[in-house]
Amino acid sequence: MFCKDCEEKFRVRSTYHAHVKRHRNEKQQASTIYVCVLQNCQYTTSNKASMKQHLTKIHDYKQEKGKIFIDGNRENRSRKS
């Protein structure tokens, strides 16, 4: 089996189906782009989880009940999850 979108080949049917499902999810989420605005960062992604991981690892981002903490300092803006 091979993927019609990227032509990757698969031996196991379940692996193929999981891969195709990711392509479908990417297409559905493609209209939403998350842009990092911290510290003049140029990072962008269409995946919310990837943005949260980026913020945590690169900018030491922490979120607590809608408040944003960066390097232990509270910022004055609220954020909905």
pLDDT tens string 9-27: 999 999 999 988 888 877 7
Cα separation values, 53 from 24, 61, 65, Å: 22, 9, 18
pLDDT digits (tens, 9 = 90+) for 21-61: 888 877 766 567 888 888 789 998 877 888 889 988 998 88
- Give Cα 5 to chain centroid, integer Å: 21
Structure confidence at residue 60 (pLDDT):
84
Q: Residue 66 above 80 pLDDT?
A: no
Mean pLDDT estimate for the chain: 77
Query: Which tokens sit at 54?
Result: 């980026």
In the DSSP assignment, the letter for residue 31 is: T
**In 26-46, which positions are buried (b, 16+ CB within 10 angstroms) versus exposed (e)?**
eeeeeeeebebeeeeeeeebb
Indicate the pTM of the whole model.
Answer: 0.44
Residue with token string 């408040």: 67
